[in-house]
Amino acid sequence: MESYHIRGGNKISGEYSVKGAKNAALPILAATILCGAECQLSNIPQITDVNSMKKILNELGCKTDTSEETVIVDSSELVADTISLKRMREMRSSVFLLGALLGRCGSAVISQPGGCNIGSRPIDLHLHALRMLGTEITEKDDVIICKASKLRGAVIEFSFPSVGATENAIMAAATAEGHTILKNCAMEPEICDLQNFLNSCGADIHGSGTKTIHINGNSALHGGNHRIIPDRIECGTYLVAAAATGGEIVVKNAESLHLKSILEKLIETGCTVGVKRDRIYLKACEKLTALDKLITGPYPEFPTDLQSPFLTMLTLAEGKSYVEETIFENRFAFANELKRMGADLLVEDNHAFVTGVKELQGCRVAATDLRGGASLAIAGLMAQGETFIEGIEHIERGYADFSQTLRSLGADIRKTND
């Protein structure tokens, strides 16, 4: 089994060019099915979740051709509408195939998706939106069978602004007959990216990035070219790694507008932050200051995906911090590993109370989810001595060349096979 072996104490410093956003690339790869033609996507991150999505597309009959960070998908010939249980379990984003397949051929058979162990993660909001658009859904054991003789536009109000449900509804409505209005939508930048991709293929969607999205269905989409937006979560992870280790970093190819809540919190901890065009500069301060309140929420609030790296950084900040998780109930699971490294942490339900300590000590820890896993690597960089991280397949689902990148920024990290 592969693991990371980290010797702590080095600063994370230097320059890094941020990759394309995982959470934009995955729904957009799925959405190429709607086009029935060749689509060229650039700035696709080379991560295992993208490989899993490409395998699903291949099993459905799409041809994919990858050259570094460019992927060409030709979806002109679909041969199946069913995603195997194995693929569904590999990653949660397999659920995006639902809206895409329904929009393309009016049927889809999936099972409950897998993904990170960060909470119960139901898909009721996805299914509700698809039903409103005219899909008949039968759930039997773990299998979900969806059929729509004709998708028709509808007015759909989400009870919670779910990112994935908003994206699935956009995909199904893009080729439906008539006009769809989606209300109380999630406003994440990755949803705007999906809209922009589909519009470049002939769709008529507007309003993404606001609470209300309007879609005029067009059953004749065509191929297109699209560049995926930069990954704000990956960018934030490396900024935190620098802040937590006393480093100085320039992240290139970033979109700082997408990182507003994150940069504000980094400044609050005492870091110096500067933005110039697509570059974000961060210089850590001598001793980080605790945060009175860090509360996650739907965009533009503080992203749940960066809660774990921030919580990790705060274990060495001066004073007491309070962190509240409002999106996923198990996001604090990794905090037990931080405690084993010497962090002073009290977790009660979705609240974490952190008292800064002088140092963390390296030990053997296990990653059980993507962002928590990356955070344990940051903890290893902050700690005295050696840290071994197991379960690194979780980290590599979402970070391209994670250990090489950290090493190029000064970390003493090796991937070992033990």
Catalytic residues: 116
Contacts of ligand UD1 in 275-304 (CB under 6 A): 303-304
In the complex with ligand UD1, which residue's Cβ is closer, 298 or 356? 298
Instruction: Candidates 34, 56, 156, 163: give the one binding ligand UD1 (CB under 6 A).
Output: 163
Alpha-carbon span 324 to 105, nearest angstrom: 42
Starting at the earlier edge strand, list the strands of the sheet with 294-295.
294-295, 320-324, 351-355, 344-348
In the complex with ligand UD1, which residue's Cβ is closer, 67 or 120? 120
Alpha-carbon span 306 to 316, nearest angstrom: 17
DSSP string, 121-179: ---HHHHHHHHHTT-EEEEETTEEEEE-SS-B--EEE-SS--HHHHHHHHHHHHTSBSE
Interaction of residue 162 with ligand UD1, rule CB under 6 A: yes
Contacts of ligand UD1 in 308-327 (CB under 6 A): 327
Interaction of residue 29 with ligand UD1, rule CB under 6 A: no
In the complex with ligand UD1, which residue's Cβ is closer, 26 or 271? 26
Residue nearest to ligand UD1 (CB): 164
Contacts of 122 (CB under 8 A, 6+ apart): none
Alpha-carbon span 246 to 230, nearest angstrom: 25
Q: What is the largest CA-CA distance in the chain?
A: 63
275's tokens: 């933005």
Interaction of residue 254 with ligand UD1, rule CB under 6 A: no
Alpha-carbon span 346 to 354, nearest angstrom: 7
Q: Which stretch binds ligand UD1 (CB under 6 A): 53-61, 160-168, 169-177, 217-225?
A: 160-168
Local structure of 292: helix, strand or coil: coil
Interaction of residue 124 with ligand UD1, rule CB under 6 A: yes
Instruction: Candidates 33, 53, 125, 172: give the one binding ligand UD1 (CB under 6 A).
Output: 125
In the complex with ligand UD1, which residue's Cβ is closer, 56 or 383? 56
- Residue 143: closest CA among 80, 88, 94: 88
Instruction: Candidates 186, 213, 254, 354: give the one binding ligand UD1 (CB under 6 A).
Output: 186
Instruction: Candidates 10, 23, 387, 403: give the one binding ligand UD1 (CB under 6 A).
Output: 23
224's tokens: 């297109």
In the complex with ligand UD1, which residue's Cβ is closer, 22 or 104? 22
Size of the residue set binding ligand UD1 (CB under 6 A): 24
Instruction: Candidates 54, 126, 226, 397: give the one binding ligand UD1 (CB under 6 A).
Output: 126
Alpha-carbon span 389 to 374, nearest angstrom: 10
Contacts of ligand UD1 in 90-119 (CB under 6 A): 92-93, 119
Instruction: Candidates 164, 224, 247, 410: give the one binding ligand UD1 (CB under 6 A).
Output: 164
Instruction: Candidates 328, 334, 399, 402: give the one binding ligand UD1 (CB under 6 A).
Output: 328
Residues in the chain: 418
Instruction: Candidates 305, 325, 369, 396: give the one binding ligand UD1 (CB under 6 A).
Output: 305
> Nearest-5° angle of CA 311, CA 234, CA 414?
85
Q: Are 260 and 230 in contact (CB under 8 A)?
A: no
In the complex with ligand UD1, which residue's Cβ is closer, 11 or 397? 397
Contacts of ligand UD1 in 189-218 (CB under 6 A): 190
Residues that bind ligand UD1 (CB under 6 A): 23, 26, 92-93, 119-126, 160, 162-165, 186, 190, 303-305, 327-328
